[in-house]
Structure 1
């Protein structure tokens, strides 16, 4: 739709209706306007799946690997295909706008939402993010570049003021968003935080460079609740305030009438909303596209292998089919496939690491250690409806007198959203627990307000839980628990009933959970050691929990929780072929990394976790991943670690030196450099020559099987008159070769790689730059000296 048509449409509605269009009708929909042929636009959280318009486990979604995993592929074509899969999922669920990708940087691995971002490097983030956007929007669904900008930590995330120098913004944190605009992104989300003193929904960065020099013609939507003013944000380049219907922008029409906000500002916002509607098929009765993807589970399985990073291998991998494998660790039978927070989805099925390996090997299993994690909600596997005797639970809304207002059958005891009805005062969740072990069970209830919990008719919890946060991730996703310990006998069924009071602004999230008795920690560890001793190979799956990596809070340590390090060393002491699989979204400490036979990173791998890991361990596919961020040996070694504001201010005093750049400046050696990753063959870097657009590199596969290598080119400027990182990524390209084969690959190094930002704009320092070529930021065996870029001024 051209601008003339949009202008005509904008002119058909008065100020009040314009203002109405600019605030959400609900949490997940915009308003319609029949006079304009505009239907409501439906949005959904991402980025690993398309949840839809709410938190309902009955509405399942395909679950992709985490963004850290997607970046670890260094494969833009694969990421674009996965974006196409998300577009198909969005249309299947009636969604027009996917609130992804997250383009913030890994400024520090302590950042709680690290798993939802791509990389510490702006170029890798930019290229992977742009591929994701092209894939999603190629299916007619809008992608959303978020969170603009400097939303790189969770502590005080809704109010912190990120103080970032202008050059640092342009050379680091704005780079992925600029690439998103170049890729044609249709939506950009403004962040909660402030930057340099102004909250982002009011910040001049929305105008310049976003809508100004970059030429973004799409819609700026707020993060949910990030619009906190009427006039200041109404005058700014913010376009849509979400969620609705309550919003400071409900007074926007009055502000126009009072002369505080010009009507022309509303006209531009409505024009952009209509342009988005035209793009997603929400205007003039258009029929939205219906993309389809063949064999989606095969694609997800491929993505797991492509993102798995092999950090170390002494020759133990790949394994031989038929080996007896002890599959150990707390995440083995219940893989952590996704991070916590608004990015979560409900997959129809999950292949655990244990299940995937059991399909190709003779396996034995025990957890080995216990993790202090959130309680396990009732499921269709252990609970039945208290009246209809079908798997699941009963959820009811009650009035002030305890009378039933509504009832529905649900599949999980974790009920995040309940359709409210007038007069509702209490949410009730009940189920009949099938007791499969004799001993002391932990029965739990979660929510805000007065909580009660009854077991077999006896009241075991009765407590008032006050609301002590305004963070929506806590209110709607992770309310606090209260627990009781109850002795139960195997073979019985027990009625469980949880209630929570509904108070203003506390949401509806309610959880009923039951955790069985377990072996003592010492006995569990001893059992794991015995299984490892009697097996050919020990695969130990270690990882994090929802209480460590999640939206809403930052990490305080990189150490693995519980006794997982002790488990690894105890198993290694009895089995030389100990392979450790790390199931985390971001870096963790691996103090035993040089003692075990092999170490692999699976990140949060999505629902095909077990199949993808089996493919890699048994050599059906090569581990294709390379690190998108540098891993420290210990959290104390990090050159950039601060994620905690002081007096509301978080200073980015490290400037341009983030990630491997900071490590290079410090002179310290990390555990594993950015870009590192092994395959099942070896490579020799033989020659690099300059080309018009970059470097041509010849590499040779010196191993015994076909493989893929990610050839990386870094730029450096020794003796520069301009303050710079010691080196920075210029570009990369992947190459495949058979055993013994030499191949050449062209790596583009764009002109921007040689530029630096000044108060007058982009500039190039006269003289030559040096290009470094190799498999990681810490290993660059080839050097191409004194390259003078031909940059048009």
Structure 2
């Protein structure tokens, strides 16, 4: 970490032009090239941000799973997020990873964004602050963080080719702002998106040099998203430094030829290599030096406690009609209802997914919290709409050994076995390939506990078949409709067949998939029992709720509802789940609805339930953290990082689908709560909204009468705890500029600070407003400006509830740059 620039230049001089040109191309899927001539070892990368998977996608190589990024932003707690970043760094060390591909700093521009769960917020300021905290936490432990996906990569539809058209001012003030914050926090890598901005693909965009490397002074590595580099010369002449994955692709030998032919200047390549060497030096991977010694691993109990604390800290109590917290001493029976209660969805789909060490469902959490003091009754209710789940060790056995799991075999072209092993899951994304492998086969012996018509499926691409006791159920050739790696390699669509199975019987299910170029390695085998009669299941749920002292009904999105690779088309949870909540709430007024999703969903029954808790995708300790909130052991600490519409049609910005390959950001600056305010629309819940277990009044806002342009300022907010419990409040500050000479939002988020107080106490909290919150980008002059004159400062609990207002006079700064 102490290598000087002079030493890096000396090492660079030891490399031939060809060696330099080869270095910026990846060596493998997850590794950079080594160069023994300068003592450079390979650097290992891994996806994030909710966990560190490592190089292998294997259910036996488990990872600590944090709550989703949207849940971390909902904590509005940078200190906690830094600690969680340190936990991710410890996981990276444990798995031999140098570079974590996180955080994701794209915005919740529209509620339909398929990757909402992996992004932080609709707001550039909150995204920047929480993202910077994660960067600091990861890098404080010697692991490099990566800010992604630079830039305006805010939807998944046609994401490999979409051309985003966005005005220069909105690009600067909204979409680039979180990346600027990450650079200011010292982030070591920035990853480009697949998309284009204003006609130029990001891997070859001038935005990689200006503002990233010139104005902001970024001295780290710009890495491509995996497979995003499709051309040799354009990205090489631009600010891209590392093309992943490898080997092969447009760089490597292609870049060496381009340099030799004079199509790419040697100086451009030298800058890329210098940045790679600088990163390696920071990581302790240069000059033959070993990486810094790994810190002592945290005790598993402490790790789980921290992750569980994060669940409660990010859980958002949207509504509470004197139902929460539940008093365990007054409960004899608790009904826990819904399929998501027993199989709580802990993470979203796509490349960010990991195999968690453990998963605590809401049902598990409630049972453990009550400890046998009250009877817990679980009723699954109707099955939610969604795909059949992958086989797991509880549903089947390896037909060869009889042990729980499946039998994975590699076969040659004649069907001879080359390799075999037992696996725990039917979701096989990177099975071990052996020389001569032609076909992947997955066998499982099912012992149905429920008789009737089962749904059986196999997912992947290429020629596939599915056999039941030797009889073919389906066979065909299914070519990939896209080259999107998230679809081909992580989340391929399934092909389904049905079969009548007898309860208590035993059948052999065998899926085969031929390996062919371009079809990926993912093979997923799934099975689902017959769905229960919906009317009978609803009636059973209502009976259980009516007979209980309190009911907890858990509903949420399904595996293919929120995932990398595609956007959503609806915010509805489906008629089945909506009917379940209504039936339970009608049977018991003490009903708590828990929402298990990574982003906004429609809640048409929100006024019918006694309490409404947003749990997000809560990670491996989700059920324990949710139970802590339900029974008052922890306060629901979350505040919404994104405005939630009542119905999709209300959302001011809902466009995710390009027209003729072009996606226009016509809303400009007016993203998130800014758009709702401009359109005079009222959402179901505003950005910043969230209740605790006490109440607050906002009593006073103190603002300096005058502040110089270009300087930070501090305002003070006095609040009073008017409720029965000690609690934490998040005081939020917004700005407005009446009579501005340039277009502005009605008001916009500028800063926040948390405050704690006991019942009846007042507390005054200082909220720092950065100078950037008052500036605007002048397109005509190509620079930042701050208007002088009268400004308005507003403070409150959310973007829609700002009871305190004060004026601020901004005067010309006496210092240069004002």
- Whole-angstrom distance in 2 between the partners of 1:286 and 1:360: 46
Q: CA deviation at 1:444?
A: 1.5
Which residue of 734, 738, 759 maps to 1:714?
734
Q: CA deviation at 1:658?
A: 0.5
Which residue of 203, 211, 227 maps to 2:205?
203
Equivalent residue runs for 1:266-665 within 5 Å: 266-283=269-286, 284-291=288-295, 292-294=297-299, 295-322=302-329, 323=331, 324-361=333-370, 362-665=375-678
Q: CA deviation at 1:790?
A: 6.5
Q: CA deviation at 1:368?
A: 1.5
CA contact (8 A) 1:351 1:607 kept: yes
Between 90-99 and 413-422, report the one with greater CA deviation: 413-422
- Whole-angstrom distance in 1 between the partners of 2:105 and 2:298: 25
CA contact (8 A) 1:437 1:490 kept: yes
CA contact (8 A) 1:308 1:623 kept: yes
Which residue of 754, 761, 785 maps to 2:807?
785
CA contact (8 A) 2:788 2:811 kept: no
Q: CA deviation at 1:116?
A: 0.7
Q: CA deviation at 1:288?
A: 3.2
CA contact (8 A) 1:154 1:553 kept: yes
Equivalent residue runs for 1:60-139 within 5 Å: 60-139=62-141
- Whole-angstrom distance in 1 between the partners of 2:619 and 2:50: 8
Q: Any unmatched runs of 5+ in structure 2?
A: 708-712
Match of 2:716 in 1: 696
- Whole-angstrom distance in 2 between the partners of 1:514 and 1:751: 56
Match of 1:29 in 2: 31
Residue 272 of structure 2 corresponds to residue 257 of structure 1: no
- Whole-angstrom distance in 1 between the partners of 2:555 and 2:142: 39
Between 431-440 and 723-732, report the one with greater CA deviation: 431-440
Match of 2:44 in 1: 42
Between 439-448 and 29-38, report the one with greater CA deviation: 439-448
- Whole-angstrom distance in 1 between the partners of 2:292 and 2:469: 51
**Which secondary structure does the structure 2 equivalent of 1:29 belong to?**
coil
Q: CA deviation at 1:524?
A: 1.2
- Whole-angstrom distance in 2 between the partners of 1:629 and 1:46: 21
**Which secondary structure does the structure 2 equivalent of 1:430 belong to?**
strand
- Whole-angstrom distance in 1 between the partners of 2:426 and 2:803: 55
Deviations 1:565-617 (A, max 9, x none): 11111111111111111111001111111121111101110010110000001
Equivalent residue runs for 1:707-786 within 5 Å: 707-759=727-779, 760=781, 761-786=783-808
- Whole-angstrom distance in 2 between the partners of 1:374 and 1:243: 31
- Whole-angstrom distance in 2 between the partners of 1:518 and 1:350: 24
Q: CA deviation at 1:155?
A: 0.5
CA contact (8 A) 1:143 1:187 kept: yes
CA contact (8 A) 2:405 2:424 kept: yes
- Whole-angstrom distance in 1 between the partners of 2:283 and 2:61: 22
- Whole-angstrom distance in 1 between the partners of 2:408 and 2:36: 36
Q: What is the RMSD of the two structures over their aligned residues, measured on CA atoms?
A: 1.2
TM-score (norm 1): 0.98
- Whole-angstrom distance in 2 between the partners of 1:376 and 1:642: 30
Distance change in 2, residues 1:335/1:774 (3 Å): same
CA contact (8 A) 1:713 1:747 kept: yes
Q: CA deviation at 1:359?
A: 1.5
Match of 2:710 in 1: none
CA contact (8 A) 1:768 1:789 kept: no
- Whole-angstrom distance in 2 between the partners of 1:119 and 1:438: 45
CA contact (8 A) 2:788 2:809 kept: no
CA contact (8 A) 1:84 1:293 kept: no
- Whole-angstrom distance in 2 between the partners of 1:116 and 1:779: 27
**Which secondary structure does the structure 1 equivalent of 2:455 belong to?**
strand
- Whole-angstrom distance in 2 between the partners of 1:630 and 1:545: 21
- Whole-angstrom distance in 1 between the partners of 2:604 and 2:393: 39
Which residue of 185, 196, 201 maps to 1:194?
196
Deviations 1:738-772 (A, max 9, x none): 11111111000111111111133110112021100
**What is the total number of aligned residue pairs between the two structures?**
793
Q: CA deviation at 1:562?
A: 4.2
- Whole-angstrom distance in 1 between the partners of 2:703 and 2:293: 44
**Which secondary structure does the structure 1 equivalent of 2:81 belong to?**
helix
- Whole-angstrom distance in 2 between the partners of 1:686 and 1:382: 58
**Which secondary structure does the structure 1 equivalent of 2:496 belong to?**
strand
Match of 2:61 in 1: 59
Residue 151 of structure 2 corresponds to residue 149 of structure 1: yes
CA contact (8 A) 2:775 2:784 kept: yes
- Whole-angstrom distance in 2 between the partners of 1:629 and 1:216: 29
- Whole-angstrom distance in 2 between the partners of 1:517 and 1:587: 30
- Whole-angstrom distance in 1 between the partners of 2:726 and 2:687: 24
Q: CA deviation at 1:54?
A: 2.5
Match of 2:182 in 1: 180
Between 303-312 and 328-337, report the one with greater CA deviation: 328-337
- Whole-angstrom distance in 1 between the partners of 2:475 and 2:193: 39
CA contact (8 A) 1:702 1:739 kept: yes
Q: CA deviation at 1:776?
A: 0.5
CA contact (8 A) 2:387 2:560 kept: yes
Q: Any unmatched runs of 5+ in structure 1?
A: none
- Whole-angstrom distance in 2 between the partners of 1:293 and 1:211: 37
CA contact (8 A) 2:479 2:519 kept: no
**Which secondary structure does the structure 1 equivalent of 2:125 belong to?**
helix
CA contact (8 A) 2:147 2:179 kept: yes
- Whole-angstrom distance in 2 between the partners of 1:70 and 1:478: 24
CA contact (8 A) 2:283 2:291 kept: no
Q: CA deviation at 1:355?
A: 0.6
Residue 253 of structure 2 corresponds to residue 246 of structure 1: no
CA contact (8 A) 2:738 2:790 kept: no
Q: CA deviation at 1:446?
A: 1.6
CA contact (8 A) 2:383 2:532 kept: no
CA contact (8 A) 1:399 1:426 kept: yes
Deviations 1:199-255 (A, max 9, x none): 000000000000001000000000001111101111111000001112101300111
CA contact (8 A) 1:332 1:354 kept: yes
- Whole-angstrom distance in 2 between the partners of 1:581 and 1:643: 28
**Which secondary structure does the structure 2 equivalent of 1:688 belong to?**
strand
Match of 1:232 in 2: 234
Q: CA deviation at 1:789?
A: 5.8
